[in-house]
Homo-oligomer: A and B are copies of this chain.
Amino acid sequence: MSARLQQLHVIDGEYRHLEKAAAVLHWDQQTYLPPEGVEERAEQLALLEGLAHRQLTAAETGRLLDETGSTAKNPRGDESLAPLERDFLRVMRRRYDRAVKLPADFVSDSARAEGLSQAAWAAARQNNDFAAFLPHLKTMIAIARKKSEYWGFGGSGHSLYDGLLDIYEPGMGEAEIGVLFAILRDRLASLLQKIMRCSSPDTSFLRQPFPVERQAAFAQKLLDHIGFDRQRGRLDISAHPFTTTLGSHDIRITTRYFQDNVLSGIFSVIHECGHALYEMGFPPELRGSCLADGASMAVHESQSRFWENVIGRSLPFWEGAFPLLRDIFPAQLAGIRAEHCYRAVNEVKPSLIRVDADELSYSLHIILRFELEQQLISGELEPEHLPAAWREKTKQYLGMEPPSDADGVLQDIHWSMGSFGYFPSYALGNLYSLHFTQKLNADIPDLAGLVAAGQFQRLHDWLRDTIWVWGCRLEPAELLHRVTGEKLQAEPFLNYIEKKYGELYSC
C-alpha cells in the first residue's frame, strides 16, 4: 500500500475512534446518564464532534485524496489500485467533500444543540408538552436546512430535502421516493380498507400484564435464539430503541418494555438485533475502516425489518420461539399455541405509534412523516402548525386521531436529533428487504424448516456472504443489482404483503 493510502487509513482510523467515543457518550446519555448531567454531556459531545470534524477536514486529508487520484468526478482514484482501496477512496472522498463544506463552528454548535434538543424532546414527550420542544425543533430544522445548503442543495434541480435524503440513501431524491411511496400508499390503503371489514384474530391473551423483568429475561433468550453474539454486544433499556456501534466488537442495542404491551418490546428487540447482526457481520478486512458501515440507511433497515417482519412475524419463527415465551409466561399463555401467536402478532390494527404499528400499516406512518418532512424543510409548513398537520394526516391515513402529542408528533426521537430524511429509510428498507427475500428463498428453499427448528446459521451465512460482506463498498442500487439483478420497486414487497395478509384475512 502506498504511503499516502496508509496515511489516509490512519486519518480514517482516528476519525472513527473519535466518532465511536462520541457514540459511547451518546449511548450513555440514552441509557444511564443522571438527569442533571445532560448539559455538560452536550458540551463534551460538541468538543468530540468538533475534533472529529477537524480531523477529517484537515487540509492533509484533501491533499492525500487528490494525490491518490480521487476526485469528485472519479472518487475511486487511480485504476491501478486494488478494488478494496478504490472503494475506500470513494467513501473517504464522499465523507471529506461532505465534511469540508461544513464550517467547524457549525458542526460543534450543531452537536451541542442536538444534545440539548434530545434531552428537551425526552422531557417534552414525558410531559406531553410540544411547546417546550418547539424552539429546539425550530433549531433542528434550521440546522438541517443550513447543512443541505452548505452541500450545494436548494438551488435548481435539487431541493434542500434532497440533500438530507442523500445522507441516508445516496443517489435517491424526493421525486423518486415520491413515486415509490405513491404506489405503496394506494395499494396498502386499499388492502387495509378490505381487511378492516374482516374479523380480527383473538388477541385477548395479550391483554394481560406481562411483568417487565420477565420480558427482559425473554429478550435475552430471544437474542440467543436468533444468534446475537453477547461477547460482542449487549442489550440495555432506553426511552427509544436504537442500535449503536461503539467498536468493531461492541455493538449495542436498546429497547424498553411495557407491562401491557409485550409485543412492543419483543419486536423492537428483533428489529434492533437485525441492525446489530449487519454491523457484527462486516468482514474482518473492513473492520476499523469507513467501509465497515451499512450500504445505506434503507439497506440497514432492510436488515432490521427483514428480521422483525419477514422472519419475526412468520409462522415458522413462532413455531421455534413460542416455547421459549411460554416457559417464561406459563400463566399468561396457558392454552395458547404457536399458531395463535402467529395470528396475534400479525393482527392488522392501525396504531398511533409507529414502532407498534403492524407490518401492513407501518409504511403509512412513514409516508406521513415523509410528507411532513418535505413541508417542514421546504418551509411550506411552520413548525408551530406541525401538531395539527400531524393529527390531520394521521386521521387521513390511519383513520384515527392522536389524543395527545406524546402519542403523536412527539413519539419519535429522529427530528429531535435533526435526522430529517431518515424516516423514508424504513419504508425503503421494506422494499429492499423483499427483493432480498425473493433471492434468499430461491437459494435456501428449506428456510422455513430451519427457522422453525431455531437453526439460523445458514441464514446468517447467506446474509453474510450476500449482503454484510460488502459493508458500504457498493452503493445501495449497485448492491441490490449485484444480489438480485433488479432495480428497487414496490412490487416485491406489495406482493408479499398482499399474499400474506390475504391468507390471514380471507373474509
Contacts and interface: CB of A to CB of B under 8 A. Distances in A.
Given A14-B47, A41-B247, A47-B14, A231 B36 contact: yes
Interface string A327-365: 000000000000000000000000000000000000000
Interface string A30-59: 001111110111011001100100000000
A231 to B, nearest CB: 5
A36 B249 contact: yes
A33 B251 CA distance: 10
A384 to B, nearest CB: 32
B249 A34 contact: yes
A24 interface: yes
A288 B40 contact: yes
Nearest to A22: B21
Given A34-B231, A37-B232, A40-B288, 20 more contacts: A17-B44, A17-B47, A17-B48, A21-B44, A24-B24, A28-B28, A32-B234, A32-B236, A34-B234, A34-B250, A34-B252, A36-B231, A36-B232, A36-B249, A37-B250, A39-B249, A40-B249, A41-B250, A44-B247, A51-B51
Contacts of A232: 34, 36-37
Interface in A226-241: 230-234, 236
A177 interface: no
A22 B25 CA distance: 10
A248 interface: yes
B33 A250 contact: yes
B249 A37 contact: yes
A35 B17 CA distance: 18
A120 interface: no
Nearest to A35: B231
Interface in A197-246: 230-234, 236, 246
A44 B32 contact: no
A214 to B, nearest CB: 14
A20 interface: yes
Interface string A1-38: 00000000000001001101110110010001111110
Closest 4 CB pairs of A and B: A37-B250, A36-B249, A40-B247, A17-B47
A19 B232 CA distance: 26
Contact of A28 (B14, B24, B47, B233): B24
Contacts of A234: 32, 34
Nearest to A27: B28
Contacts of A35: 231
Given A37-B247, A40-B250, A47 B18 contact: yes
24 contacts: A14-B47, A17-B44, A17-B47, A17-B48, A20-B40, A21-B21, A21-B22, A21-B25, A21-B47, A21-B48, A24-B24, A24-B28, A34-B230, A34-B231, A34-B232, A34-B233, A34-B252, A40-B247, A40-B248, A40-B288, A41-B247, A41-B250, A44-B247, A51-B51
A249 B247 CA distance: 27
Contacts of A249: 34, 36-37, 39-40
Contacts of A246: 37
Contacts of A39: 249
Contacts of A28: 24, 28
A247 B246 CA distance: 21
A41 B288 CA distance: 12
A22 B28 CA distance: 13
A294 to B, nearest CB: 19
A354 B391 CA distance: 62
Contacts of A43: 17
A212 to B, nearest CB: 15
Contacts of A33: 250
Contact of A44 (B20, B36, B37, B47): B20
